[in-house]
Structure 1
Amino acid sequence: IKETKITRLCHETTILAVNDQFPGPTIYARKGDVVVVNVYNQGNKNITLHWHGVDQPRNPWFDGPEYITQCPIQPGANFTYRIIFSEEEGTLWWHAHSDYDRATVHGAIVIHPKRGSAYPYLKPHKEIPIILGEWWNVDVGKLFEETRTGGDANISDANTINGQPGDQFPCSKNGTFRMLMFFGVAGHRLTVVGTDGRYLKPFSVESIMSSPGQTMDVLLEANRPTDGSGNSRYYMAARTFSSNPQLESNNSNATAILEYTDAPPSAGPPDFPNLPTVDDIAAATAYTAQLRSLVTKDHPIDVPAHVDEHMLVTIAVNLLPCGANETCKGPINGSRLAASLNNVSFVAPSVDVLDAYYYSIRGVYEPDFPNKPPFVFDFTDSTTPPLELSFTKRGTKVKVVEYGAVVELVFQDTGILGAESHPIHLHGFSFYVVGRGFGNFDKNKHPATYNLVDPPYQNSVSVPKAGWATIRFRAANPGVWFMHCHFERHTVWSMHTVFIVKNGRTPDARMMPRRSTMLKC
């Protein structure tokens, strides 16, 4: 990892990159593999890496979030990660898990079936990782400083596909990502077959909707005419989905090009796909409703019917009072923007939580994260809430769970400082998304609507704007596991907490021992 100069939108910017690549290199593996990654930090700041969606059974030591499961890799230092793949199959990704570095330090993970096993569909002729991202013409470290002082960060200058904004932007035409013979959107239907490293019942769509942190496996058949009667070039495009119109967002289209190499050259510009509008919540909701687990003999599911731990977790963007010696940029004088789960804005400790738990170091965290919000009100009321509801509290509170317990989490969005959809990611586990809806969750009514037959098995869930989503998982992975919103600014504002899953009784139900190579804070 080192600083690399790169030009986008006519601007030369210095970014952190891996092996001089942006996006970084793709990691290829097979189901059940163990992959070792050596990371050398040749940059000028601390860094960590996270293997997003990899459960890392009994192995939280190499999960990656700084001050949660490890101390960061300091400039000039190196660290070796051991990635244990278990049941994952399909596409995941890796990214930095420190400050705003994920914006440029990231790449794909492609997990093939075990040797001798087959895909649950026709084997593709070719596979091409597609990474949808954003680009800023400034050092992303400055964005981090803006949000760290309680202000909101500037929106990105462009959306990107594989690091390129496309030829609709100045100085970008020569760098437009082109895909030959295999992938596109305009003029082609897409068949969705997987999400978050798990297979789905296939369904066909004109376009896909992916929330931040989410991955999709999509098949495209290159079946357009090549006899000169049709176009030979087609745009793939990506556009922001913004659920809160009160927030400024980047509404630009990122483009890439699918080109048929055996067709006569096109005389005109590529065809452009039909994408939903930036605020089309109905389209996003309809797409998400089609995600259903495959459920076959080779790919069974096991949805827990009995629940041991019920949790209702409210999601909010809040305010905090500005400290005596702080410079704050909140919307109200003397305040700073913050974020919370159940009215707790997480405070990162100076000793990572995993070491504190493993060595029984007191005073690092409090094991009393609440199972429900401290007060109940009309969570999705669109009117301005009373000022006292806007403020939250700080704390390093974690949730401790017995090994093997079945946990049900209902995430409830709130209208405090504006309702919006939140992509919540849980480390160490995939979970069944058994229900979702709009409005306030009703424990007497909504559980009857749960899908316990073929719910999708995911590691990230998109909680609807002014709505709720319910997940279930069996806590059979001992260790310390981070849970957070995958909006970068919300993570900086501390919309997260930690699950500590206790060891079980047998050796294979206990966390692996700490390695001597772990870094010190």
Structure 2
Amino acid sequence: MATVNGSYPGPTIYAREGDRVVVAVTNRVAYNVTIHWHGLKQRRNGWADGPAYVTQCPIQPGGTYAYDFNVTGQRGTLWWHAHIAWLRATVNGAIVVLPARGVPYPFPKPDAEAEIILGEWWHADVEAVEKQGRALGMAPNTSDAHTINGKPGPLFPCSEKHTHALQVQWGKTYLLRIINAAVNDELFFSIAGHTMTVVEIDATYTKPLSASAIQLSPGQTTNVLVRADQRPGRYFMAAKPFNDAAVPADNKTATAILQYAGVPASVLPAPPRLMPETNGTGFVAAFHDRLRSLNSARYPAALPLAVDRRLLYAIGLNIDPCASCPKGSRLAASLNNITFVMPRVALLQAHYGGLKGVFTADFPDRPPARFNYTGAPLTAGLGTSLGTRLSRVAYNASVELVLQDTNLLSVETHPFHLHGYNFFVVGRGVGNFDPTKDPSKYNLVDPPERNTVGVPAGGWTAIRFRADNPGVWFLHCHLEVHTSWGLRMAFLVEDGDGPDESVLPPPKDLPEC
């Protein structure tokens, strides 16, 4: 397995709002590597964003690249991970951005803080697992376990040393920084006997929200306050999958232990809290509908009210011909009927280096063919095409993007991550998006602000953002299996006026392809 500095998860990066961060990455494994700083906006600095063949060529074995970036206007919990193939299964870690000195949290100050990283584990080389699935034209094998801070817990046939324990003092309050670093699974999280108060999502503050369980898609982070006010003992923290589609999943529950100081490890933990059903769509919808931006004087919700560009992207799973596959076909995925093909040269380098023929800037604003997106399954598909096609966006344009799930093969939830930006989740629903009726239900006051959002199975999600960060920015499903099948695209945001609205020059040590 590939790790960073010999640990899984890798080391936490601590910074303060306004800091400059430099991370030298040396590749000592047999695979090409890049690192993505998930959720950091990288203002005018896509060179430090990290997705392979989008903003940089990968770091080849034996090579080094120094990621150099500023943390501007952000604070909270983010994370870093490999952004090439499936290496992020074990190459990941937390990013904790503290507020600027002298700036308090907009919630009661906790007595202590801890990172909780939810992961996914295979008893095999994940690169070999993905390669085997690709050769067969099928979905790769599901994972063998989930983990909490790298350990599966005692519900698996493991010893106590394979269980993460968080020690707490009675009467004190703890800020847990929870990250879903799983490769393909959406997860629920809960703590037996304790209520959590959500105060932040994706490094943006929220109105306090009390919850017995929370749900995170791969890529999302959630900060919760937990008060250690129960009878001193040992209590299970648990993570289990949310899966409302007819597809295989690792359905096992990972556990860790919240342990009160002075309680011996021989005490049996309280059973895990009864969590939502694995297919608990109703719970997930209600939880996300309750999330609200803090929208205070210090932290306003800077939501674009007027829209310059309206986009509708239909999400499709499809079957493509494959002469080398045993069944003569392979599973694939598409946005607006386009299965995205990764280039051999990084898109950002190609654009600013004037290289021709690497991509076209004609990604369609809406599906080429309208149909009943969430009706009866259309197993035959609609005729997808392969292409490296970007969507060109004018600098500072306000964009509304509706992500529409479809019933091509099956309906399924899809967590989408947009690089380079936060966005506001103004609406979500089931069925087909209705451009006449559904916008009247948008939350245009205090919608949640995120960098990764779930599209409900057989439904839609509407987001808005202002394109004020020039460069090439990846948009993709954060289920790695779908990304590898082509469920991805990129925005080419043009430079504005003058150097302060233009992409920075590339660093001298930028890797070459």
How far apart, CA to CA, are the structure 1 residues paired with 2:278 and 2:70? 38
How far apart, CA to CA, are the structure 1 residues paired with 2:54 and 2:256? 37
How far apart, CA to CA, are the structure 1 residues paired with 2:483 and 2:381? 23
Structure 2 match to 1:369: 363
Supply the AA of the counterpart residue of 1:385. Answer: L
Superposed counterparts of 1:32-111, under 5 Å: 32-111=18-97
On the 8 A contact 1:23/1:104 being kept in 2, the answer is: yes
Structure 2 match to 1:169: 156
2:502 aligns with one of 498, 510, 520: 510
Shift of residue 144 of structure 1? 1.9
Structure 1 match to 2:332: 338
How far apart, CA to CA, are the structure 2 residues paired with 1:310 and 1:172? 54
Q: Decide whether aligned partners of structure 1 residues 282 and 359 sit closer, same or farther in structure 2, where only a CA change above 3 A counts.
A: same
Shift of residue 147 of structure 1? 3.7
Shift of residue 303 of structure 1? 1.0
1:220 aligns with one of 226, 247, 259: 226
Superposed counterparts of 1:254-333, under 5 Å: 254-263=254-263, 267-323=267-323, 327-328=324-325, 333=327
Structure 1 match to 2:183: none
- Stretch moving more, 117-126 or 262-271: 262-271
Structure 2 match to 1:201: 207
How far apart, CA to CA, are the structure 2 residues paired with 1:263 and 1:46? 46
Shift of residue 392 of structure 1? 1.7
How far apart, CA to CA, are the structure 2 residues paired with 1:147 and 1:31? 42
Shift of residue 116 of structure 1? 1.1
How far apart, CA to CA, are the structure 2 residues paired with 1:518 and 1:506? 24
How far apart, CA to CA, are the structure 2 residues paired with 1:388 and 1:211? 27
Structure 1 match to 2:378: 385
On the 8 A contact 1:32/1:85 being kept in 2, the answer is: yes
Residues 1:242 and 2:243 are matched in the alignment: yes
Partner-residue secondary structure (3-state), 1:491: helix
Supply the AA of the counterpart residue of 1:420. Answer: E
Partner-residue secondary structure (3-state), 1:282: helix
How far apart, CA to CA, are the structure 1 residues paired with 2:280 and 2:451? 24
How far apart, CA to CA, are the structure 2 residues paired with 1:430 and 1:328? 39
How far apart, CA to CA, are the structure 1 residues paired with 2:492 and 2:133? 28
How far apart, CA to CA, are the structure 2 residues paired with 1:386 and 1:270? 46
Partner-residue secondary structure (3-state), 1:209: strand
On the 8 A contact 1:33/1:85 being kept in 2, the answer is: yes
On the 8 A contact 1:312/1:409 being kept in 2, the answer is: yes
Structure 1: runs of 5 or more not aligned = 1-14, 227-231
Residues 1:115 and 2:101 are matched in the alignment: yes
Shift of residue 388 of structure 1? 4.3
Shift of residue 300 of structure 1? 1.0
Residues 1:180 and 2:177 are matched in the alignment: no
Structure 2 match to 1:403: 395
Q: For residues 328-352 of structure 1, what are the alpha-carbon distances to aligned partners after superposition, in whole Å with 9 as ceiling and x for unaligned?
A: 25xxx32111111101101111111
State TM-score, norm by structure 1: 0.93
On the 8 A contact 2:414/2:478 being kept in 1, the answer is: yes
- Stretch moving more, 142-151 or 110-119: 142-151
Shift of residue 262 of structure 1? 3.2
Supply the AA of the counterpart residue of 1:304. Answer: P
Q: Decide whether aligned partners of structure 1 residues 233 and 416 sit closer, same or farther in structure 2, where only a CA change above 3 A counts.
A: same
Residues 1:464 and 2:456 are matched in the alignment: yes
Structure 2: runs of 5 or more not aligned = 169-173, 177-189
Supply the AA of the counterpart residue of 1:179. Answer: L
On the 8 A contact 2:413/2:454 being kept in 1, the answer is: yes
On the 8 A contact 1:311/1:409 being kept in 2, the answer is: yes
Aligned residues: percent identity?
A: 49
Supply the AA of the counterpart residue of 1:82. Answer: D
Residues 1:355 and 2:349 are matched in the alignment: yes
1:435 aligns with one of 400, 413, 427: 427
- Runs of 4+ residues over 4 Å off in structure 1: 263-267
State TM-score, norm by structure 2: 0.94
Shift of residue 277 of structure 1? 1.1
Superposed counterparts of 1:441-520, under 5 Å: 441-520=433-512
On the 8 A contact 2:234/2:267 being kept in 1, the answer is: no
On the 8 A contact 1:146/1:152 being kept in 2, the answer is: no
How far apart, CA to CA, are the structure 2 residues paired with 1:189 and 1:266? 25
Q: For residues 280-329 of structure 1, what are the alpha-carbon distances to aligned partners after superposition, in whole Å with 9 as ceiling and x for unaligned?
A: 10011111111100011111121111111110000111111114xxx225
On the 8 A contact 2:34/2:82 being kept in 1, the answer is: yes
Partner-residue secondary structure (3-state), 2:238: strand
Partner-residue secondary structure (3-state), 2:400: strand
Structure 2 match to 1:18: 4
Shift of residue 84 of structure 1? 2.0
Supply the AA of the counterpart residue of 2:191. Answer: V
Partner-residue secondary structure (3-state), 1:497: strand
Structure 2 match to 1:136: 122
